[in-house]
């Protein structure tokens, strides 16, 4: 069931990111709803990315600590695995700043 939830969240993240880019790329209308919808898309892209990162790190952290407790040489690898999901938030911020610059 959690796989279905994550795939749904990923779909919404992708959809709102693409929607925000299309609204900003059109630029033909100056209606307040266009910029508002783009801002909602930016917020959802960053927010859902952060949510996914938090869920991933909540499972990787205890597993990494357990592996490091049994084998101390695994501590560096556990740290790398703990930092990998953080790139999702960094990419979300980069996309958000790029879209905010076009508002």
CA 23 to chain centre: 20
Average pLDDT rounded to a whole number, residues 43-55: 84
DSSP state of 87: H
Domain ranges of the chain: 2-101
pLDDT at 90: 86
Give the residue-averaged pLDDT of 37-52. 81
26-35 per-position pLDDT tens digit: 665 555 566 7
Give the model's confidence band at 42: pLDDT under 50 very low, under 70 low, under 90 confident, else very high: confident
Do residues 20 and 42 make contact, with C-beta atoms less than 8 angstroms apart? Answer: yes
Closest to 90 measured CA to CA, from 52, 41, 50: 50
């Amino acid at each position: 069931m959690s796989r279905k939830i994550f795939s749904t969240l990923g779909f919404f993240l992708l959809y709102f990111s693409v929607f925000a880019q299309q609204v900003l790329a059109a630029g033909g209308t100056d209606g307040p709803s266009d910029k508002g919808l783009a801002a909602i898309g930016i917020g959802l892209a960053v927010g859902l990315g952060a949510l996914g990162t938090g869920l991933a790190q909540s499972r990787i952290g205890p597993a990494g600590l357990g592996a490091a407790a049994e084998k101390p040489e695994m501590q560096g690898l556990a740290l790398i695995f703990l930092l990998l999901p953080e790139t999702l938030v960094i990419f979300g911020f980069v996309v958000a700043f790029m879209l905010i610059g076009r508002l």
